[in-house]
Amino acid sequence: MITIEEKSELAQLSRDDGKRFYGVVEGLYGFLITVNWITGIAGSLAGIGLIIWGMPMSVLGIVVLGATAFVCAANYAVAVLTTHGAKILVHILFSNLAIMEAGRS
């Protein structure tokens, strides 16, 4: 059987781990969105540059713009789904801690 002191210590350690994990997830989200912005800017400049270059390259420029849009959409989906899934896990952890602490009272 777990004593009250052990439950309290476990809850505090879990709370600290959850906060740390949430911070890591926020940092990962910021990094992925920054990479997405860089990809979008570079692809847009390359596509527009090819369109301005002239007729033979205009088609390639349109393809580059389309590919950039697709890659940015995929990057954003990965960033949102992975980080929000991890945040849900942290919220589940905190909910379980609250239930555990309510049962202890």
Q: How far is CA 35 from CA 19, 21, 52, 89, 96, in A?
A: 25, 21, 26, 25, 34
Instruction: Give 29's pLDDT tier (boundaries 50, 70, 90).
Output: very high
Answer for the pair 61, 48: CB distance below 8 angstroms, yes or no.
yes
Confidence of residue 99 (pLDDT cuts 50, 70, 90): confident
Q: What is the pTM of this model?
A: 0.74
Kindly indicate the confidence band of residue 17, based on its pLDDT and cuts at 50, 70 and 90. confident
The Cα-based distances of 18 to 5, 12, 24, 94, 98 in angstroms read 20, 10, 10, 7, 13
Between 15 and 102, the more confident residue is 15
Query: Residue 91: which of 35, 41, 21 has the closest Cα?
Result: 21
What pLDDT does 70 receive? Answer: 96
Task: Tell me the percentage of the chain whose pLDDT exceeds 70.
Answer: 94
